Each structure stands twice: as structure tokens, then as C-alpha cells.
Amino acid sequence: MDKKELIEEDLKYIWRPFTQMKSLEEDINKPILIKRGKGIYLEDADGKKYIDAVSSWWVNTLGHSNKRINKAIAKQTKQIEHVIFAGFTHKPVIEFSKKLVKLMNNKLTKVFFSDNGSTAVEVALKMAYQYQVLKGKPEKRKFIALKNSYHGDTLGAVSVGGIDMYHKLYKPLLFEIRQAESPYCYRCPMGCTKENCDCECLQSVENILKEEAQNTAGIIIEPLVQAAGGMIMYPPKYITKLRSLCDKYNILLIDDEVAMGFYRTGKLFAYEHANIVPDIVCAAKGITAGYMPLSVTVTSEEIFNAFYDDDKDGYKTFYHGHSYTAYPLALSVALENLKILEEMDIEKYLQPKIKKFEQELQIFKNHKNVGDIRQTGMICAIELVKDKNTKEPFSYEEGIGKKIYLEGLKLGAILRPMWNCIYFITPYIIKEKEIEKLVKIAYTALNKVLPNEE
Amino acid sequence: MDKKELIEEDLKYIWRPFTQMKSLEEDINKPILIKRGKGIYLEDADGKKYIDAVSSWWVNTLGHSNKRINKAIAKQTKQIEHVIFAGFTHKPVIEFSKKLVKLMNNKLTKVFFSDNGSTAVEVALKMAYQYQVLKGKPEKRKFIALKNSYHGDTLGAVSVGGIDMYHKLYKPLLFEIRQAESPYCYRCPMGCTKENCDCECLQSVENILKEEAQNTAGIIIEPLVQAAGGMIMYPPKYITKLRSLCDKYNILLIDDEVAMGFYRTGKLFAYEHANIVPDIVCAAKGITAGYMPLSVTVTSEEIFNAFYDDDKDGYKTFYHGHSYTAYPLALSVALENLKILEEMDIEKYLQPKIKKFEQELQIFKNHKNVGDIRQTGMICAIELVKDKNTKEPFSYEEGIGKKIYLEGLKLGAILRPMWNCIYFITPYIIKEKEIEKLVKIAYTALNKVLPNEE
């Protein structure tokens, strides 16, 4: 089959994620057939190359088709691809878990494996609630979550989500939560500015806690960046103060590092910037360098010990598992990934790239539709507005993001704006020259759609 | 590190699925370190081999470390391991989807990808409910599920689960369902026998439908075998009649083939035995021959078309996705798997093995604690009871299953009974001689724990 036929077959049989399928009737919206990936580039069936500026849904870290990872996979398949993880174990999972806990300075020590970001969050929610039950507090069954948050698409994760377009419709299938303000600094709900902010928005969390801490199991956050909500960024001190609130009111802090973890913010986990330790950490995406689904929910001895018992009737066990829990193939990749990152001295390695992005982003400063330029480590975002003074946003119907995406493709980059935000989440191995090139493409695409001189 | 040290590290850092961690203090319960897998065998660090009679959580079909699958993986990693599946596509996913729909006789034609069995079910539930909303029936938001059912461990899947020990505790986090009787033929809730059964237990489904079909989105079942509930088996006519009920009362039939799909019952999907077509089919486990997580939720043009619209405000789109949705690595495996199964002429290939199991199982017939021997294709189960006449079950505390498991390990097989059921779900490539050997091991283990001559 040639390219055209393949695309036709694709449209005939496949229902795509997050996609209004009717939009694919238009030629420009048809899926692009990718043939190959190498480093930061994806190559389509016509040989055209694109910078993968979204790391293929924020997962890729070491570039596509990484030779060392490929070798680790080939080696592992010859030994054992998968073995049931109840009653049995294997070397890659032990070495990985040990390394991970060590990198977390032994502050959280118990690693529970599942398959993706959503399941890591489901594990965290179930674990947090069951912990409260086992501590004799079954009434502590509510969760607090933030506006604009995204924690995954399974119904437990949707319950703590805060983006209407993704989550609202499913309300009859969700459990009840309390929603606190989003720490959306550019549009501060308290009317503060970055200069005078003292995390006043946390007051909305404390107001809820004053009312019903006694019924609350925990609060879940995306640390430093509410990514799917529109790359909303907020300072580490928010997390530091939130930790104190959790301690004061005796609820658990669940830290969803699915997107931020594995050095996306410059450190292994974003919570490190806040000098605190959460009670439960969820991580996925970059854990396998972008190769295959795997996730962890890491927690404390305190929580683990609440489940540790003779348990004659079986009700103290954490009943959660997936067929491929901790499958050796993914663990061999996750382990090799950690080894590579260690050899790279990844925190230091990323510094010049983070600085380079910061410098290059200045080009957007004087564009009339750029409301905010923000950066957290290797995540950069440019929020577009209709009017800089009023901060009036573009409406969904205007489809500004989509137009910029299409211009980006023509120019050789996958930009895929999130709502009205152009963003960069690239593989870590991007070179400084490539950062220049990518930012220029984005700036050109922006000016095609929203010319500055108008 | 030697074996002993590795196991110690394992226990220090890893929280295992479905496991009371305190039980691992006992030496006999410590996880076994697996070094290698080949065909139906797993080999531990001491070189001891075990028949993988549970197909490592019912996923393995072609044996461990299959050469052709290994080769497909090596090839795919050199091309592209993963690419974002919104806006982009790749050859393996197109070829696989086309082949799958063809094998389903084009009755269901739209394939939605996710990562595991739980997420496939979550997709089905969300899709079914949103379908009703889009058809102008938002009040159709309830689901019917069966007692003893298991559909996964994320909270949406737990909501439709019916096993108290796994599901009850989380009730405050679950959505409300209506529960119908389990078609547990050996312990028929209607007091029927296999000989005089006309699926009277379906009356409990119809009773619910009479009350509130107008508020019901759909019913979800595990076809032919309620696996995690205790390998409970029921006849195809139940599904045929259920399909009629769904049509009569205008609700959707969601068929969770996660464990049964990909020829476990002798056909691609279990629903084929009933000569019907469900509205939504979930599949996972065997889809990748046991290599890595991948799942599909396959549905009809009718359901797909309800979402197909100009959708100016974005509320008709199915917002669900995972980072690794339809990742090329898994799709290259799933495609190679289908090719191999086709070349094997799998339905015919399995027939002598199914017959061989049937013959060998007769050995259990005269054991005083064997209440029921049942088989559906490549799934065999022996239900143990305290008393054949009263069918009195062993209690959880007696731990009969666990004792047989430990005896099985000594004898070189992973039996892992489910509640009071010894079962066999082996890789398809098991030889007839190996079936003999496996059944003998199980029988010997049973007699060690429950001697027949007592």
C-alpha cells in the first residue's frame, strides 16, 4: 500500500485520542504517516523531518531510536520479556527500584508499579483512601484538587481533573471532590502579581480544610506546572506552603509528577525545588525515556506500614494490579535510562539548554499577542492573548493553536499548542543550535497566524 | 549481588500487587527470582524450571522469549519506538487495525487504543455514557454489572466490579451500579442444573431493566468466564439471550474480552460462540502475545457516528488518551502476533490441545474435594469444596489455594489457584505431553494438600 492508501485505511478503522474525527475529512488535518525517528527528529513517509518539540506527548528524553536503549531491549527480550509480578521478581525491577529510592534520598522508599500516568494516579487515590480507612478514619474519603488540573483519563483520575472540556461531561460517573483555586500566576485569582505574590491563592485550599479536613484524605497537585491546563506555572514556595497546610490539617499530599518527573524541571522530581517531601509521588512518561508505558507510585514507610499486617481476612491488602505490572522489558529500559542520565550528569547537562531557551524566548517579548512567557526547567510556554492589557484570551472557536500547529508542520516542527499556549517540551538531547532553530520556527508560525505589524 | 541479596533489596523497595507484604516475611512466600523464560517455562536463579501454567497473568500465548516477536521488536526499535498518536500515524497500527476488523468480519469497525485492560474498560464506560448523552439521553447514566465480575483496578473499572475483597472498600469513590446475578452454573442462583438450565438467572438482569432501562447506559460482562471471580463458566446461550434483552430494552452490551480475547476460548473473541455482536468489545492481555501493555476498545459505526460532528464547541469529541496510545513498538508486536496466529491456523491448532486437556482433567473426577471440573477452550478449572454434597467451600482463612500453589512450585509448575479453583491458562504452544505432565503435577499437589484417601 502506498501512503495515500494507508492513510485511508487509518481513517477507516482507527478512532483517535482527543480528536474530533470529522475534522479529519479536511486534507490538512489528516494524520501524517511517520516512518522513522532519530534523535529529536521524526521523519514522515515523504522524507520530511520534524523537530519533535512535544517529545511525543512529553515522554521522550534521550531522542527517538536511542541506540543504548534499543540494545537493552534486544538483550532483555532474549532473557525474559514478562513474568507475573505476584510471587516472582527479576533483576531489572530490583535494580531500578533501588536506584530510584536512592535518587529520592531514601525519603520515600516503597515503589508500587503500574502501567501509565492515569493508573499511577488511581493507585495513589486508592492507596490514600485505604490508608485513612486502615488508620481508623473511613470518614476521610474526600479529595481536594485544583482548577485547571489534569491527572489522567480513567474515571478516578478524571474525578480529580479540573478542565471542563475533558472532564465535565462525565460528572455522573465521578466521585465528589472539593476544588481549590488554580495557582495561575499570569491570571492570579487573588489579583496578585509575581512581585507581590505570597501564594495568597492557597487560602482557598485552607478554607476548604477549615471546613472539612476531618473528611479529607488528601490533596493532589501537578507540581510547578499545570501542564494540560495550559502550561500554567507557579513558584516552588506554593508547594512548600502546601506541605505545611497538609501537616497542619493532617491530610496527605499527593504529588502527580507524571509529566514533570525524570528531570523535566531540571531535577529528578519537581517537589525537590520546594525542599519538601510529598506523601505519595506518581511518575510515568519519561521513566522509560519515551519508549513504552510504565509508571510508579512511590510512597512512605508510614503509609506502607498501615497496610502491613497479619491480615487474616484479606482486607488490609492493597488489591491493585495490572497484567504487565513491572514487566521486565520496561524495567530494563527504565534501568538503562537511569544509568544513561547518571552518566550524562543530567542536572548539570540540562543547565545550558535551560538558559539557551530562556535567552531565545525573548524574541516573543514584543509580539502584540504574547501575554506571558514562562519557563520551568525544560518546559517553556508562551501564552497568546487577544489584548495584552486586558489579557482577553482567544476563544476555542478561533482555533489559534491549531493554525499555529499547521504552520509549524510546514516549517518542520511539531508545536501542538495547548489551548492558547505555544510550548516547547523537547527531548533533553536537543542542541543549542536546534533550540535557536525551533524557537525561530515557532516565532515564524506565530507571525503567519497573528502578524505583529497589523 | 547474589540471589539472597537481590531478594532482600526487592523486599526493601517494592510494594507488590495483590500481596499482603507481611506474608513475605516467611521464607516460603518470598518472591522467586526469575532469570530466563523460554516457551512454556520460566527459569529461576538456581536453574529450576517451572511450567508457566498461568501464562504470567493470562497474557502469554506464543511462549516466553519468542524468536519472531523478538525480531519484530528489534526491527521496530531501529525505525520508531513511539510517536504521538494525535495528528500522526504509522504503518504497524494501520495494518493491525485493518487485520483485526477483518477478523471481526467487519461487524465492529472502529478501534480505539489504550494501554491495558482497565483502561480499555474505562474507555468503554465513558464512550457508552457519552454516546447516550450525544443521543439526547443523559439520564441513561447507570450501568449493570454482574456479581463476581472483575473488570480491572482503576476506579471506573472497580465500580463495575463484583468481588467484595477487591472492590468493597472503595465504595465511596465508585459510581453507583445495579448488580445482577452471576451465571455461576455450579452454584446456580436459580437452583437449576446444567441439564435443565435455560439461563433463568438472566431474569435478574431483566428485572433491573424493567425498573430502569430508561436510566441505563449499558451492561458489562466477561463473556463465558468470570475469571477473577473464580473461573466461573457459563454457556454461550446466556450471551445470545442477553443480546436480545439489550436490544429489547435499548441498552448497550459491553463485552469485556480482556482475558478471553485473542483465542483463549478457541475463537478470536468469546462472543463468537454466541453468534451475536456486542456494541463495544474490550481486549488486551494476549493482544501482544504477552510482551507489553496494549489494549483496544472496538466499537460500531453507530456509536462512532454519534460523536462525528462539526463540534464547534468541542463537546462531541471523545476526550481520552494516554501518552503511549498505539505506540509503534507494541503495534509491531501485535501485528506480528496476528500474523503468527494466522500462519498457525490457530483455531484448528488449538483443538487437539483443548481435547487433551478435557481428557486429562478426568483424573480429578473421583477426588473427594473436587466439586466441579469445567473448561472453556484453553481455560480449565477445578473447583475444590469441603464437601461434594453440600458444595461447602473452603474459607479464605484456610488458604487451600496458597498451599497448592506452594506444592506446585516444588513440583515445577506455577498453578496459583484463584480462590478455591485450581486452573490452567497456559501458553497455546504447550505440547500434549506437557499437558499430561502439568495436570499430573496439579493432581499431585492437590493430593499433598488434600489427600483423597482420608
Note whether A22 contacts B299, CB cutoff 8 Å: no
Q: Considering only CB atoms, which chain B residues are within 8 Å of A326?
A: 14
Residues of B in contact with A322 (CB under 8 A): 17, 116-118, 152-153, 293
Residues A324-383 have pLDDT tens digits of 999 999 999 999 999 999 999 999 999 999 999 999 999 999 999 999 999 999 999 999
> How far does Cα B51 stand from its chain's mean position?
20
| Stretch (H or E) spanning A381 | strand A379-384
- Dihedral sign for Cα A87, B10, B6, B69, please: positive
Range in A67-71, A162-166, B113-117, B379-383 with the lowest mean pLDDT: A162-166
HSE (side-chain half, CA atoms, 13 Å) at A281: 27
For A77, A79, A80, B69, B293, the CA distances from B65, given in Å and listed in that order, are: 6, 7, 6, 8, 16
pLDDT bucket at B102, cuts 50 / 70 / 90: very high
User: What backbone torsions phi and psi does residue B241 show, to the nearest 5 degrees?
Assistant: -70, -35
Q: Which helix (H) or strand (E) holds A373?
A: strand A370-376
Which burial class, exposed, middle or buried, applies to B192 when counting CB atoms under 10 A from its CB (0-12, 13-18, 19+)? middle
> Pairing between strand B142-146 and B216-221?
parallel
- Smallest Cα distance from A240 to chain B, Å: 26
Three-state secondary structure of chain B: CCHHHHHHHHHHHEECCCCCHHHHHCHHHCCEEEEEEEECEEEECCCCEEECCCHHHHCCCCCECCHHHHHHHHHHHHHCCCCCCCCEECHHHHHHHHHHHHHCCCCCCEEEEECCHHHHHHHHHHHHHHHHHHCCCCCCCEEEEECCCCCCCCHHHHHCCCCHHHHHHHHHHCCCEEEECCCCHHHCCCCCCCCCCCCHHHHHHHHHHHHHHHHEEEEEECCCEECCCCCEECCHHHHHHHHHHHHHHCCEEEEECCCCCCCCCCCCCHHHHHCCCCCEEEECHHHHCCCCCCEEEEECHHHHHHHCCCCCCCCCCCCCCCCCCCCHHHHHHHHHHHHHHHHHCHHHHHHHHHHHHHHHHHHHCCCCCEEEEEEECCEEEEEECCECCCCECCCHHHCHHHHHHHHHHHHCECCCCECCEEEEECCCCCCHHHHHHHHHHHHHHHHHHCCCCC
Phi, psi (rounded to 5 degrees) for A423: -140, 160
In this predicted structure, the answer to whether residue B441 has a pLDDT above a threshold of 80 is yes
* Torsion of the alpha carbons at A88, A327, B123 and A119, rounded to the nearest 10: 80
For residue A304, what is its C-alpha cell?
A: 506502607
pLDDT in tens, B5-25: 999 999 999 999 999 999 999
Burial class (CB in 10 A: 0-12, 13-18, 19+), A235: middle
CB–CB of A89 and B57 under 8 A? no
Q: How near does any CA of chain A get to the CA of B412, in Å?
A: 14
Contact A22 B308 (CB under 8 A): yes
A74 with B70: Cβ contact below 8 A: yes
Is A32-65+346-449 in CATH node 3.90.1150.10? yes
Mutate to test the interface with A, among B4, B8, B13, B51 (most CBs of A within 10 A): B13
Nearest by CB: A293 against B115, B159, B315: B115
CB contact under 8 A, A22 and B309: yes
Band of pLDDT at residue A115, cut at 50, 70 and 90: very high
Residue corresponding to grid cell 493507585: A123
C-alpha distances in Å from residue B337, one per residue of B68, B119, B289, B332: 9, 21, 6, 9
- Chain-chain contact of A80 with B94 (C-beta, under 8 angstroms): no
Give one DSSP letter per residue of A303-331, joined into a string: HHHHH-S--TTSTTS-----TTTT-HHHH
Distance separating alpha carbons of residues A404 and A187, to the nearest angstrom: 23
**What is the C-alpha to C-alpha distance for residues A272 and A276, in angstroms, rounded to an integer?**
6
Task: Work out the minimum CA distance from A420 to partner chain B, whole angstroms.
Answer: 15
Q: Return the exposure string of B238-257: e unless at least 16 CB atoms fall within 10 Å of the residue's CB, then b.
A: bbebbbebbeebebbbbbbb
Note whether A129 contacts B312, CB cutoff 8 Å: no
Residue A162 confidence (pLDDT)? 96
Which cell numbers in the block locate residue A230? Answer: 495550559
Interchain contact, A85 vs B159, CB within 8 Å: no
Res. B454: pLDDT tops 70: no
Task: Give the Cα separation of B32 and B45 in Å (integer).
Answer: 8
Run of H or E including A443: helix A432-449
In whole angstroms, what is the distance from residue B415 CA to residue B409 CA?
A: 8
| pTM for the full predicted model | 0.98
Which three three-digit cell numbers place residue A122? 488511581
Q: Please say if the pLDDT value at position A313 is more than 90.
A: no
The cell numbers describing A331, all together, are 524495567
Which residue from B15, B166, B310 is facing A112, i.e. has the nearest CB?
B15
State the ipTM, two decimals: 0.98
Residue A396: what pLDDT?
87
Test mutation, B323, B327, B338, B403, chain A, max A CBs within 10 A:
B323
The pLDDT of residue B313 is 76
In sequence order, the 6+-apart residues with CB closer than 8 A to the CB of B225 are: B231, B232, B233, B234, B259, B260, B265, B270, B376, B379
d(CA B385, CA B375): 18
Asked if pLDDT for residue A285 goes beyond 80, the answer is yes
- Rounded to a whole number of angstroms, the distance from the CA of B404 to the nearest CA of chain A is 14
Q: What count of CB pairs under 8 Å joins A to B?
A: 435
The length of chain B in residues reads 454
Chain B residues closer than 8 Å to A94 by CB: 6, 9-10, 13-14
**CB count, 10 Å around CB of B420?**
23
From the CA of B42, how many Å to the nearest CA of chain A?
A: 8
CA pair distance A142, A217, nearest whole angstrom: 6
More confident residue, A207 or A313: A207
- Chain A CB contacts of B121 under 8 Å are none
- Beta carbons of B166 and A125 less than 8 Å apart: no
Residues of B in contact with A299 (CB under 8 A): 15
Mean pLDDT of B348-352: 98
Query: What pLDDT is attached to residue B254?
Result: 98
> Residue B384 has what pLDDT?
98
Of residues A94, A133, A169, nearest to B315 (C-beta): A169
Tell me how far apart the alpha carbons of residues A409 and B89 are, in angstroms, rounded to a whole number.
15
The verdict on a CB contact (< 8 Å) between A74 and B73 is: yes
Q: How confident is the model over A22-77, as pLDDT tens digits?
A: 999 999 999 999 999 999 999 999 999 999 999 999 999 999 999 999 999 999 99
Residues in chain A: 454
| Residues B126, B250 contacting (CB under 8 angstroms) | no
| Contact at CB, A77 and B80, closer than 8 angstroms | no
Residue A454 has pLDDT above 70, yes or no: no
Contact B351, B333 (CB under 8 A): no
Q: Is B421 exposed, middle or buried (0-12, 13-18, 19+ CB in 10 A)?
A: buried
CB contact under 8 Å between A416 and B87, yes or no, is yes
- The stretches of A18-87 forming alpha helices (DSSP H) are 55-58, 67-79
Rounded Cα–Cα distance for residues B430 and B39 (Å): 8
**Dist CA A228 CA A414 (whole Å):** 17
Q: What is the mean pLDDT of residues B397-403?
A: 93
What topology does CATH give the domain A70-344?
Aspartate Aminotransferase; domain 2 (3.40.640)
Domain positions in chain A are 32-65+346-449, 70-344
A112 to chain B: closest CA residue:
B15
Q: Which residue from B35, B84, B153 is facing A322, i.e. has the nearest CB? A: B153
